[in-house]
Structure 1
């Protein structure tokens, strides 16, 4: 089954917390067992890669119930159901969600304060559009949308440039990734059109102990690269006595092309438009930071008295 959203986890979290002091990792295992989650589901990570999804959702379920006074935190990292929380459980609720928490003045006060402090259109409060998503998941979802839009814009702008610009952009990317040493001597042109399938060659390291041959095809998205073109590139590698090559395109590679390079003695990497855009964004080529959002957490060590 899929991992329940944080509101659906509120009732089981409170039930287990009513059994005594506990921690998020411990209660996560108990809830996972109760729900019959697979190990893969238990280990599933947020897109940010910083926390397990189940742990994150339990944390926020605990956090919001804490703001309503249903959960107490007697010591670092530990929590337990409060008297108010036990009272709520005594009524055998079928579920606990944000609407349930609105019955508690402390939660309403917290909620109204959080609304007043944000001017963003992104949901940051438990009753916002994505009521089933935790704040981290909302940030990750927004980041994914922005990332996808940037990738599309990046490829569109590359397609509007000349083939020479595209080849230079590939050199910039490889240098940014650590290949070729200084930018001045990173790439050496090998001929022009009709150069046997090689657009350039770049040193694999600053000493030039090995070289990587590059082929760059600036194709429209609907024009894929097939096996014959990749085969011609490999033939050029053999003709130059090369063992490593990178074939880059703004479009995509056919399945036969991708299968062909898997069985070669040469090491040939195929980079399609989707991966190219990802790499350019990751290494800051053709893009720049427009806004940085810091997400801060409590420094628990600061509050430890010696």
Structure 2
């Protein structure tokens, strides 16, 4: 296991290196002059030239890249071109917001997908199965922006059960923070719930056809004991894969949801940074998203062996 973890760690470093090169290259081909963005349109050519020299913009790209990576390794992500604030400080302020939204969205997805997926698989060909399949297809097909607007109109404007938008930290007002998170969590979690429901139904149907499941029924075990105690655990392996990938996507894919509900998270931060050509912020946000994807995939690989002991870490790494 130690060798596997060491290989995975080295692979993470290689992936992050490749991602950093891509990020740096793409950002540098975007139109816009960082020096002019900082000094404004009224800046003199002399002031622009002096600032470009100070920022190292006249150096070759590989020198700029090495300087940027070296600063990151020392915890310096640079300064925002828009308000001159430290990028790392801004990012650390936004991460808890997105983590909170991601957590509640994942909880919503699990609370929906597990019962619906199990019921759909164990009642194949019945009304509950058709309803579960309809939910899975509808949840995947519905655009998140449309669902978010619909939820705001129905539950915030018409019924007035929840506030329409905004954000309050949990530490500041726990009740209000939860109330503000319910609608965006449902919006973001519905799509994941649909994906997990479809995958869980398919996987569970395959497992229920296994010989050991028929043996368990032959021994007189109740259906609940067979499904929950034997079949579900083995059916969760492909579900875990989909859930891990979708969870990683939440860190970069919640842009629309954060915008609709006025949640000041990483998604909204990176969109604003792109629109204002705030290159240091864009680089830091995308690098953080890539880091989270790599870490979550690593944790998913570890979870494989916990859910199903027959899967060895070495075999997972080869796959």
**Higher strand content, 1 or 2:** 1
Same fold (TM over 0.5): no
Q: TM-score, normalised by structure 1?
A: 0.26
Q: Which is greater in Rg?
A: 1
Q: Which has the higher contact order (CA 8 A, sep 6+)?
A: 2
**Higher helix content, 1 or 2:** 2
Q: TM-score, normalised by structure 2?
A: 0.25
